[in-house]
Structure 1
Amino acid sequence: MIEVGIVGGSGYGAIELIRLLQHHPVVHIKYVFSHSKQNESIKGTFSHLYHKDIMFTELDIAEVECDAIFFATPSNVCKKFVPDLLNKGIKVIDLSGDFRLQDPEIYRQYYGEYPLAQKWLKQAVYGLAEQQDNYQDVQLIANPGCFPTASLLALSPLIKAGVIDEEQIIIDAKTGVSGAGRTIKQQTHFPELNENFQAYAIGKHKHTPEINQFLSQLAGHEVKVRFTPHLVPMTRGILATCYVSFKRPVTEEAIRKLYQDEYDSKPFIRIRSSNNFPATKEVSGSNFCDIGLYVDETSQTGIIISVIDNLVKGASGQAIQNMNRLFGLNEQTGLNQTPVYP
C-alpha cells in the first residue's frame, strides 16, 4: 500500500485528490495537511465528504512518514519543504508552479520570488504525462499547470513534426472559475462573474513561460506563443483553441494521422473524428483530454481544439497519473472515471 499526504487540504485541488484517491486500489491517504484548518474535521469544511473521518493536521516534517506527498498549495509554498522531504526519501508531486520553470529570473518575474537553488530545480521532472518518459529514479514531479496541459497536448505533435510556423502560434483559452481557487476575489464574485465573459492577465499570465519553455525544448530552439486566457462563468473546464500556420502543404488526413500516431497508446487522449469538436462538459470529472482538428487546406492554416477538466487532467488527475508512473503502476490506476454528463 502506498501511503500519501496532501498539503493544502482545504483547497479545490486537494479535495479533488481525495475524491480520486479514495477509490485508488493501492493508495492510503495518511495525512491531509492544512495550516488554517488544523485539528478540524474535513467534513466540517466539505460536507460532501461527511462520511470521511479525516482530520486536518499541520505539516511537521520531523513527524511525517509516508511514501509521497502532494502539494496542492499556492506557489512559493512547496519549495520551502522539498529539500527536507526529499532528504527523508519522500517523493513530492507539486501541483503549484514552484518547479516548472528552469530560469530563476523568469520565475521571479512571474511568481514574485526566486525559486530554490538550481540543484533542486534540476531534480524536478516536468510531469506532462503523455510527453514524459523518464520516471526512473525520479523523486520530484513538477505537475503542469491547467492551461499548459491543454495547450501543450494540443501543440506537441505539430512541434515535434516540425510542420508549423513556430512564430505564428496563437492560443485562445477559456477556463471555469474553479481554477482561481477558493479564495474570494472581486473577479470571481458572483455579481461580477455571472453573465460575463472576460480576458485577464493579458500578456503576463504565469503559464505563458511554462508553455514557451516546453515547446522550446521540443523544438530545439526558442518558441514564443501568444497566449490569452479568458474567464467563463462555469465551474469546471478548459477549452484551448490553438491557431497555427503550416510551413508546407498538408492535408487534414495527414495531420489527423500525425495525432493518432502520437497518442494512440495514450489512454487519456481522445482524438475526435473529422468535424467532431469537443466541449468541456464531455470531459468533466475525468482525466481525459479530447482534441479536435481542423485544417484549411486552401490557406494552409489549422485550428486545434483541446478540452480538459481543469481540476482533474489539469491538476489532481494528472498528479495521480504521475504518481502511478513514479511507483511503477499502470498510469490508469484509480483514474477510470467516465465523464459526468450532462
Structure 2
Amino acid sequence: MDVAIVGASGYAGGELIRLLMTHPEAEVTVATSRALEGRPVTDQHPHLRGYTDCVFTNPAAGDIEADFAFLAVPHTAAMNYVSPLLERGIRVVDLSADYRLPRDVYERIYGVSHTDWFEAPYGLPEISREGVKNARFVSNPGCFPTGATLAAAPLAPHAAHVIYDSKTGVSGAGDNPSATTHYPNVADGINPYKWTSHRHLAEMKQELARLGSTAACYFTPHLVPVNRGILTTAHILLDEPMGQEEVEALYREFYRGEYFVRLQRPMLSAVRGSNFCDIAVESEGSRVVAVSAIDNLVKGAAGQAIQNMNIMCGYAENAGLTVPPCLP
C-alpha cells in the first residue's frame, strides 16, 4: 500500500516515516513539505539516512497519488486536504484537531470557522475500535487526551470528579523554536501553562461522556525538561469507595487483550519510542490515583495514527509498531 504523509518534515511526520519503515504492508511514497520541496527527507530527519531515499515534494491536494494518507499538519490546514483525498478514494487519518470535536465545539474552542466538515470516528482504538473499523477517514486524538482518557477510562462510569495533571516533554510543542521551548527557559524547571483553558480539555470531557461518565473534569498541563513523553496523574473521585483489589481487577478486565496497554509502573523512559501506554492505579477508597505514561510522538501521535490505519485496513493492529521502547 502506497502511503502519503502530508506535513512530513515535523516530528510527527518523521515518526510516521520511521515506524512505517518496518510495516509489512505499507511504503511511504509521498512525503510533502512546502518549505523543503526538492530536498531529501534525510536532510530533515538524519536518523533515517540509509533507510529511505524519499525526497520532499509539494503536490496540490488533488494531485497526491497514494492509497492512504496521514495529515501531520497544524489545525485549520487539514480541512484543505480531506475532501480532495476522499474524493479520489484515498483513506485518511488526520493528526490535527480539525475533526476531533463536534463542529460547534471546535469553532468555539479554536476560534475559527470550519470550512470542510465531516463526521469522523475519534480514533482512540482501546475505546472506539468498532467505529474505526472499515472507516475511510479517522480523526487521531490529541496527545494529552490519549494518556488521560486511558488512565481514567475503566473508572469513568463511577467517577464524580476527574482531575488530570500532566507533565509533557518539549517535543509536544512541535519543531518550530519559540521562547517557551528555548532551552534556558525549559531546563531545570517545571512550567504550568494554560492552567484551566487548554484546548485538549474539550476532548477529555467528550471521551469521559462517551464512556458513560457525568463527572466534572479538570486539566492542567506542565512543561518539563525532557524531549518526549507525557506522564498523566488522574485523580478520580468516586461516587462510592472502591478498594485496591477491586480497582485493579476493573483495570485488568477493561484492558484484557489490549496489546498497547501495559498495567505496570509508568515511566517515560519505559515507553520512549513505542506505542505503549503504561498505567498503574492506587486506591484510598473514595479517591483513586491512576497514572499513565505515553510517548507523545508515538501513542500520542504517529504510532496511534498507524494503529488506526491498521484497524481501518484490516491489518494486524500492531503491524509496524512492535519496536521495543528505549530505556534508559
The TM-score range, normalised by the shorter chain, is over 0.9
Q: Counterparts of 2:84 and 2:63 in 1: how far apart (Å)?
A: 12
Contact 2:163 2:236 in 1 (8 A): yes
Q: In the TM superposition, what whole-angstrom CA distance separates every residue of 1:203-238 from its partner, at most 9, and x where no partner exists?
A: 2111010111111122265x4411000000000110
What is the SS of the residue equivalent to 1:9?
coil
Which residue identity lines up with residue 284 of structure 1 in the other structure? R
Contact 1:39 1:55 in 2 (8 A): yes
Residue equivalent to 1:171? 164
Residue equivalent to 2:85? 85
Which of 195, 204, 207 is equivalent to 1:211?
204
Residue equivalent to 2:53? 53
- Give the 5 Å matches for 1:323-338: 323-338=309-324
- Structure 1 residue 38 corresponds to structure 2 residue 37: yes
Residue equivalent to 1:252? 244
Residue equivalent to 1:269? 261
Q: Counterparts of 2:254 and 2:103 in 1: how far apart (Å)?
A: 29
- Give the 5 Å matches for 1:288-307: 288-297=276-285, 300-307=286-293
Residue equivalent to 1:21? 20
Q: In the TM superposition, what whole-angstrom CA distance separates every residue of 1:168-221 from its partner, at most 9, and x where no partner exists?
A: 211000000000000111010011111121101122111010111111122265
1:315 Cα deviation from its structure 2 partner = 0.5
Cα distance change of structure 1 residues 116 and 220 upon mapping to structure 2, 3 Å threshold: farther
1:67 Cα deviation from its structure 2 partner = 1.1
Unaligned runs of 5+ in 2: none
Contact 2:134 2:311 in 1 (8 A): no
- Structure 1 residue 71 corresponds to structure 2 residue 59: no
Q: Counterparts of 1:203 and 1:109 in 2: how far apart (Å)?
A: 16
Which of 269, 274, 278 is equivalent to 1:281?
269
Size of the aligned set, in residue pairs, is 326
Q: In the TM superposition, what whole-angstrom CA distance separates every residue of 1:49-77 from its partner, at most 9, and x where no partner exists?
A: 22221100013233222111001111111
Which residue identity lines up with residue 245 of structure 1 in the other structure? L
What is the SS of the residue equivalent to 1:246?
strand
Which residue identity lines up with residue 239 of structure 1 in the other structure? L
Residue equivalent to 1:200? 193
- Structure 1 residue 107 corresponds to structure 2 residue 113: no
What is the SS of the residue equivalent to 2:146?
helix
Which of 220, 223, 241 is equivalent to 2:233?
241
Q: In the TM superposition, what whole-angstrom CA distance separates every residue of 1:2-58 from its partner, at most 9, and x where no partner exists?
A: 111001111000000011001111111110011111111112222222222110001
Q: Counterparts of 1:220 and 1:202 in 2: how far apart (Å)?
A: 23
Residue equivalent to 2:125? 129
Residue equivalent to 1:184? 177
Contact 2:270 2:327 in 1 (8 A): yes
1:117 Cα deviation from its structure 2 partner = 5.1
Unaligned runs of 5+ in 1: none
Under a length normalisation based on structure 1, what TM-score does the superposition of the two structures give?
0.92
1:265 Cα deviation from its structure 2 partner = 1.0
Q: In the TM superposition, what whole-angstrom CA distance separates every residue of 1:60-117 from its partner, at most 9, and x where no partner exists?
A: 233222111001111111111111111111111011101001142x312332312245
Contact 2:125 2:132 in 1 (8 A): no
Please provide the CA RMSD for this pair. Answer: 1.3
Q: Counterparts of 1:296 and 1:140 in 2: how far apart (Å)?
A: 42
Contact 1:7 1:59 in 2 (8 A): no
